[in-house]
Structure 1
């Protein structure tokens, strides 16, 4: 058995973490096993499942205590002790040069730098992380990216391989019975339901989404907005909703393990990110036969069905609202599974390809 060490912030329920878990569930775990080096103390959404599947989780504390000197010491100690890892798959750009350097020092032959974004947040923290991320490929032996845009952003002229953010197609197929059930449970039976899934951070552009929803609600007082996820800007967004007097028609649902069912309850999925590596939730929403309205900075690889529409962030919230409200009276729900599979987003095929890479790269 090959044990792969994935290096991540933590295993909370986000796009990156969901992707890794989808790979993990679909690989042959008698041949390839995943372990995780995380950067926060505490218990996170996927930890129990990882342990059930046979994985190990190692906890560092740098994101809690910001003690960088201790972090470098901890990395050195970890790779000195854990000589069993021959493949390290890194998903944290800003700290990559440090953990890959330690891995190289202690003889890890395969060090994969995986780019998941096409920009950094326009904040001081984002700018610092962007500067640090320039060193991400320095000690890497292989470069992966979730899209051409994400690869070009992170690796420039260096060769990289696009590994698409695939999904479990069977899990996200539309089910009319589930739609009826979920809408009844959430008191949405007669509502025009707008949905969004994403961490509450600058990248996901929640305040602009609230501005758009304000205009939707002016046009259609039956409109409801479902916000799924959590993050550092959650309370700020809640305050903004209250400021707009929209608290009665915006529901904050937190982190959920039934997002596939919530897609069925929605009428339109809105995704106004200021940048994205790919936007895996846009693929999930389309597989759910859900009209998916995205900002035009979302990479073109996410546009795989007739349920996708891109709008510029330079357009006004009124223009976004006008486009979204066109779907208030419903639309035909056609099966698009073959289109999404043919575009390369089938997790079974993706996991198989990744497993073959892991098994083959050590014999090169």
Structure 2
């Protein structure tokens, strides 16, 4: 029997949550489990074509808007009224998962999963809205997932955390694709014209969360100490033009490479000497796992959950430390010799081969329990 799982997302672009879903989707047994997606953006997503090729369907509802609240609720109710085929709905929009899971419950969907992918979001104008939706979420979910203990505690609260009633699903990767390869490193560095450079790397959307302005300050300090340094930025996002402006003002333009969104992150990681991840908040930080899988030493902020500390090549520095202190810590890793970390990634259960079996089993078994 083939079952179709409806995943609730913002948009299927090449960001952390979406890339995680695609890792599962590519590897899961699609003769038993098929993924469909309900998105909140009308524009075409990065993964839309691949989803169609894999047999998935993509639906759209309007974006969540506090000023058009009822319109959004009506669109969800209408969707679930017209799609009674779904028995499992798996929502990935954090506190806002309350809304689609509420509509799914009204429509009689028996399995409703809230999945936390983030933690410790700082106060902003949306905070009251998040507090409200968070307080109602578990009223509508039947199962609660999280990418880390920290993410589960943040979204579901202490009572559920203390009862152990949320399940940690590791943000898994196809670890074998990331294994350090000296030949690949040399070839990609040659293509990028960065042979012989000290390469600092970062992967992430250009948003406040990822803290690119601080990252550029760190690189500025590194560059002053070692003008042979290069910063490679993988991703795109709303703050990119502001970051580019700052880089120009600091006269670093010739030493910073913007790759845009990439389909070969595993290869780009090979060129990095150090991966730097000064995020203001994270649910896990899957790119730190990817970097470790590639044998790249990592310097990360204190907001990266402990589950991401898989190997001995990752260390934490507080964001309260100065850019110069971060720079000194990064420069100390300049002579690190990369190694194959596949065994450590597998032992920590971050390889997709094991985790996809666990998720597949959950989907299939949860329906059997209803019969």
**TM category, shorter:** over 0.9
For residues 33-62 of structure 1, what are the alpha-carbon distances to aligned partners after superposition, in whole Å with 9 as ceiling and x for unaligned?
000000000111100010100000001222
Is 1:357 aligned to residue 362 of structure 2? yes
Aligned residue number for residue 335 of structure 1 = 340
The residue number in structure 2 matching 1:73 is: 74
Task: Determine helix, strand or coil for the equivalent of 2:137.
Answer: coil
Q: CA deviation at 1:123?
A: 2.9
Distance 2:102 2:329 in 1: 49
Contiguous gaps of at least 5 residues in structure 2: none
* CA distance in 2 between partners of 1:211 and 1:12 (Å): 28
Greater helix content: 2
Segments of structure 1 that go 5 or more residues without pairing to the other structure are: none
Q: 1:95, CA displacement in angstroms?
A: 2.3
| 1:193 counterpart = 2:199 | yes
Structure-1 separation of matches of 2:194 and 2:201: 12
Q: Where in structure 2 are the equivalents of 1:1-364 lying within 5 Å? A: 1-62=2-63, 67-125=68-126, 128-156=129-157, 157-158=159-160, 159-328=165-334, 330-364=335-369
What's the CA shift string for 1:332-352, capped at 9, x where partnerless? Answer: 222111111111101011000
Q: Secondary structure at the match of 1:143?
A: strand
Q: 1:237: how far off?
A: 1.4
Contact 1:40-1:63 within 8 A present in 2 as well: no
Is contact 1:273–1:298 with CA below 8 Å preserved after alignment?
Answer: yes
How big is each residue's C-alpha offset from its partner over 1:65-95, in whole Å with a ceiling of 9 and x where there is no partner?
A: 9743322111111000100000000001232
Q: How does the TM-score come out when normalised to structure 1?
A: 0.96
Between the aligned partners of 2:109 and 2:290, the Cα distance in structure 1 is 35
Separation of aligned partners in 1, 2:317 and 2:13: 30
Task: Give aligned pairs, total.
Answer: 363
**SS state of the match for residue 258, structure 2?**
strand
For the aligned residue pairs, the C-alpha RMSD in angstroms reads: 1.5
Displacement of 1:26 after TM fit?
0.9
SS of 1:274 mapped into structure 2: coil
Moved over 4 A (4+): 63-66
